[in-house]
Structure 1
Amino acid sequence: MTEDLADAYAYCAELTAEHGRTYNLATRLLPAERRSAVHALYGYARHVDDIVDVTAVGDPDAAIRGVEEAHARLRAALAGDPGPPDATGLVAAALADTIEQYRIPVGYFDAFIRSMRMDVPGTPEFRPHYRSMEELREYMYGSAAVIGLELLPVFGVDDPAAAPAAAALGEAFQLTNFIRDVGEDLERGRVYIPLELWSAFGVDLDLLQEGRRTGVVDPRVRRALAHAIALTRAEYRKAEPGLHLLPARIRPGIRTAFILYGRILQEVERSGFRVLDRRATVPRRTRAAVMLTEYVTGSVRRH
């Protein structure tokens, strides 16, 4: 590995450590040679997502340019020229190397970029909210399902039954984030949980805005979130059989993420569904305990 490429992977590892606490904790249980590839996948996705989150509300034109540049730089990196070693060039270089090393279909990343455009005002794809779960799944295919599918070649999994489970796990993780981040997303002018789901429980955007402003959780909002959590847990159940298809050395890391993301939903319930004015987090001690348990259990199974 060249020094420039090592710097690119190191930058992606930093992004993972800084922004993806649960994700980063889980990657520590992966074999070193696979960990760097996972960092590259996360680093590119995080970088593009940050472009959207930071600029889309205040300067959507800058967000559009940033997303399109990230896409173009990845394509250029795959052709051998990632460009200058700025943030976009670093994540593109690491990801291009990972794509080539593990033969990951490039179409997955085109789908990811399309979903990112759906978050940016001014693009033809832009959607500030989603009417139905069917519409939301169109977004989640590129923003979440393909993330699970990208990991299968990295983990050396080619069982046909693994793909739907991996896609379901990606969607389960993202639905968990949507539930946890309702208030933050509302502040950015976005509502991901479908309007049909909210309205079925008598919740409209005005009621959500009031809860964001006052911190008071209306009973209707609680019931809607409880239903969203039930739907999300159904996705985790779809994904769980896929954990058994993973190689023994890989399984503890992914199980750690599986368990800890599920614990976020428990923290939301424990808080009385206060997601409009705060963010539910899993205590550090709990995260460490789950990681240790999975490491020990995985070691015992391998021996």
Structure 2
Amino acid sequence: MESAQRTALQTYSRTAARSSRLVLGQYSTSFSLACRMLDAASAAHIANIYALVRLADEVVDGVASQAGLNPQDVGDCLDELQVQTAKALRCGYSTNLVVHAFAQTARHNAITSELTDPFFDSMRADLTIQHHNEQSLRDYIYGSAEVVGLMCLQVFRSMPAAPAENAQQAELLDNAARSLGAAFQKVNFLRDLAADSQQLHRVYFPNVDPEHFTESQKLALVAEINTDLAHARAGIPYLAPPAARAVLMAHEIFAQLNRQLAKVPAAQLLRRRISVSTPRKALIATRILVMRSHERTPAPAQEQQTGGTHAA
């Protein structure tokens, strides 16, 4: 009987993990490509993290309201998802397949409510804050993106080939993971400036009027993102080789996107969404795959910029 119960739970958990991979494949070609650099177990863990993050993000970014829910009901849905997640972290089970898969990953990799609670706080801010100030933006980016980087780092630290860390290296990796998450979030804010302001009525960058967005404001944000990306890259040599390749893959795609944003006039960002083309992503992936080890990670290529139709 006990063996049959374990088998039933294993079947359920495998099904939950497949649902997370489906979410990842549907919503992000970039992170799907990065996951291919990992071993199967680590890739599954990253997909489980991504799926929960995406699930919450969709609640606050329009899916619930398009289904006819009023703002109070949308907030209730987010609250319910947080309660489900907290319960699953404690007991290891949820009737929500995405939450169940995340809980399996979290319990295996020591991801706790210390990271999930700030995430849900930031998602809740999307329902209440339309114009951020400097402090609210820092809090938002920490909860919505930096903690996600720290969750992924926990997976990488659990890999069999993960190098041992001293205190200084552990701090460097934590800061690098946070910087990578922050860079990704700021790139998305910049790329989605029009949609966020016109459709969701949110302005993330303080002192920025999307209708009068200037070239100097854009270039200042591009430079800030480049600084975050440089800090993030400093942690890559301290990861296991598969994790280093995966992180570098995601890093280089967003670095490429930031270079493209730098070249597009500020006014055009309000009229079209910039993305990295599929051929460009394939080129980046090929460059990384042919590397023999992460110690030989090349400097980011200064390639000719091209646009595309697929989101980064």
TM class by shorter-chain length?
A: 0.7 to 0.9
- Whole-Å separation in 2 of the counterparts to 1:141 and 1:97: 23
Aligned counterparts, 1:108-123, within 5 A? 108-120=115-127
Matched, 1:93 2:100: yes
Instruction: Say whether the 8 Å CA contact 2:52–2:98 is kept in structure 1.
Output: yes
Name the structure 2 match of 1:2. 10
Separation in 2, partners of 1:185, 1:99: 31
Q: CA deviation at 1:260?
A: 0.4
Instruction: Report the equivalent of 2:274.
Output: 280
* Separation of aligned partners in 1, 2:249 and 2:92: 36
Q: What residue number does 2:112 align with?
A: 105
Report SS of the residue matched to 1:160. helix
Q: Is the 8 A contact 1:73 1:82 kept in 2?
A: no
Mapping of 1:236-275 within 5 angstroms?
236-273=229-266, 274-275=268-269
Q: Distance in 2 between matches of 1:63 and 1:275?
A: 29
Aligned mates of 2:110, 2:25 — CA distance in 1: 25
Counterpart-to-counterpart distance in 1, 2:93 and 2:55 = 15
Structure 1, gaps ≥5 residues long:
121-125, 199-203, 209-219
Q: 1:191 maps to which residue?
A: 203
- Counterpart Cα distance in 1 of 2:293 and 2:172: 25
Equivalent residue, structure 1, for 2:129: 127
Q: Does 1:136 align with 2:137?
A: yes
**SS of the counterpart of 1:250?**
helix
Identity %: 26
TM-score of the superposition, structure 2-length normalised?
Answer: 0.82
Aligned residue number for residue 286 of structure 2: 292
1:37 pairs with 2:48: no
CA distance in 2, matches of 1:300, 1:145: 23
Q: Deviations over 1:74-131 (max 9, x none)?
A: 12222337443xxxx01110011001111113210011000001001xxxxx211112
> Distance in 1 between the 2:225 and 2:206 partners?
13
**CA contact under 8 A between 1:165 and 1:242: conserved in structure 2?**
yes
Q: Residue type of the partner of 1:7?
A: T
1:83–1:163: structure 2 CA closer, same or farther, 3 Å change rule? closer
**Contact 1:8 1:93 (C-alpha < 8 Å) held by counterparts:** yes
Structure 1, 290-299 or 43-52: larger mean CA deviation: 290-299
Query: How far off is 1:56 after superposition?
Result: 5.6
Listed as ranges, the matches of 1:227-242 within 5 Å are: 227-242=220-235
Determine the structure 2 residue equivalent to 1:20. Answer: 28
Partners of 1:25 and 1:252 in 2: CA distance: 11
Q: Determine if contact 1:51/1:67 at 8 Å carries over to the other structure.
A: yes
- Distance in 2, Cα, partners of 1:171 & 1:295: 25
Q: CA RMSD for the aligned pairs?
A: 2.0
Give the whole-Å Cα distance in 2 for the aligned partners of 1:43 and 1:267.
27
The match for 2:302 is none
2:99 counterpart letter in structure 1: A
Q: Which runs of 4+ in 1 moved over 6 A?
A: none
* Pairwise CA distance, 1:300: 8.7
Q: Name the structure 1 match of 2:179.
A: 168
Unmatched tracts of structure 2, length 5 or more: 1-8, 297-312
Deviation, 1:192, is: 0.8
Tell me what 1:211 maps to: none
CA contact (8 A) 1:248 1:298 kept: no
Match of 2:80 in 1: 69
Q: C-alpha deviations, 1:136-190, integer Å up to 9, x for none?
A: 1111111011011111220016523210111111101100110000011012100
User: Aligned residue pairs: how many?
Assistant: 273
- Write the distance in 2 (CA, Å) between the matches of 1:83 and 1:112: 19
Q: How far 1:268 moved relative to its partner?
A: 1.8
Q: Output the CA distance in 1 between the equivalents of 2:108 and 2:16.
A: 15
- Contact 2:92/2:103, CA 8 A, preserved across alignment: no
Distance in 2 (alpha carbons) for counterparts of 1:129 and 1:16: 29
Q: Distance in 2 between matches of 1:82 and 1:2?
A: 11
Question: How far apart in 2 are the matches of 1:152 and 1:300?
Answer: 16
